[in-house]
A and B are shown apart, each in its own frame.
Chain A
């Protein structure tokens, strides 16, 4: 059973370019998170999505950042017109719902991918 898959693992972009980070959740997981880890800092929540729906984007910067999780295919975190301050590790995570009720279960583990390291030069 494959884990959370992220690509690319490393991405270098020049200032002003666009960065696209992709995430495929674990098999059977329909909810995806994106977190950002700035150098020497902890992980900060960005966005929580289910397929075709953004549930909570309270941690997303107001401009240049967007996320989607289409019905088919991976979740995408898109950063337009990147700046040096966007250099960070971006982690995707996924979790499962209760199979009977479809409800979120707080005790369920959230599994993380290996991250995408974005460097803006």
Chain B
């Protein structure tokens, strides 16, 4: 079935460090890909998305490129801030169903 595998955490970084969270997927068709972020005690917010191969999603300094050849959608940010501390979820959507990875907890220290 369709599934998402993302890098296990937790990840701890210093402010202004470079962040990468790996995400790969398995799908029978051509999914749309998403990154959601969950801050402590809150719901999920859409961070960025890409709907077809080679699309790049970007928002708030985060970027991810839909790579069909490697079935990946890695999340990157060049310089993290303390406020980026959260759980990040990679997800794929085929038709109506949205399937999530396990989530990666990121902690940024001042």
A residues adjacent to B (C-beta < 8 A): 6, 31, 33, 35, 41-45, 48, 55-56, 91, 93, 95, 104, 106-107, 109-115
Any A CB within 8 A of the CB of B69: no
A42 touches B89 (CB 8 A): yes
Q: Provide the residues of chain B in CB contact with A42, threshold 8 Å.
A: 89, 100-103
A91 touches B43 (CB 8 A): yes
Q: What's the Cα separation between A47 and B31 when bound, in Å?
A: 20
Residue of B nearest to A115 (CB): B43
B96 touches A109 (CB 8 A): no
* Total count of chain B residues near the partner, CB < 8 A: 23
Of B11-19, B44-52, B71-79, the stretch lying at the interface with chain A is B44-52
- When A42-B100, A106-B31 are in contact, do A111 and B93 touch as well, CB less than 8 Å? no
Q: Provide the residues of chain B in CB contact with A104, threshold 8 Å.
A: 95-96
- For chain A, what secondary structure do more than half of its interface residues adopt (helix, strand, loop), or is it mixed? strand
A106 touches B44 (CB 8 A): no
Interface readout for B32-55 with A: 1 if CB under 8 Å, 0 if not?
A: 101010000011111001010000
Q: Provide the residues of chain A in CB contact with B43, threshold 8 Å.
A: 6, 91, 112-115
B96 touches A43 (CB 8 A): no
- When A91-B43, A112-B43, A115-B43 are in contact, do A107 and B98 touch as well, CB less than 8 Å? no
Residue of B nearest to A112 (CB): B44
B89 touches A106 (CB 8 A): no
Q: What's the Cα separation between A31 and B95 when bound, in Å?
A: 13
A106 touches B32 (CB 8 A): yes
A104 to chain B, nearest CB (A): 5
Q: Provide the residues of chain A in CB contact with B42, threshold 8 Å.
A: 114-115
- Contacts A/B (CB < 8 Å), 24 sampled: A33-B98, A42-B101, A42-B103, A43-B89, A43-B100, A44-B100, A48-B97, A56-B97, A91-B44, A95-B96, A104-B95, A104-B96, A106-B31, A106-B32, A106-B93, A106-B94, A106-B95, A107-B93, A110-B93, A110-B98, A111-B46, A112-B45, A114-B42, A115-B42
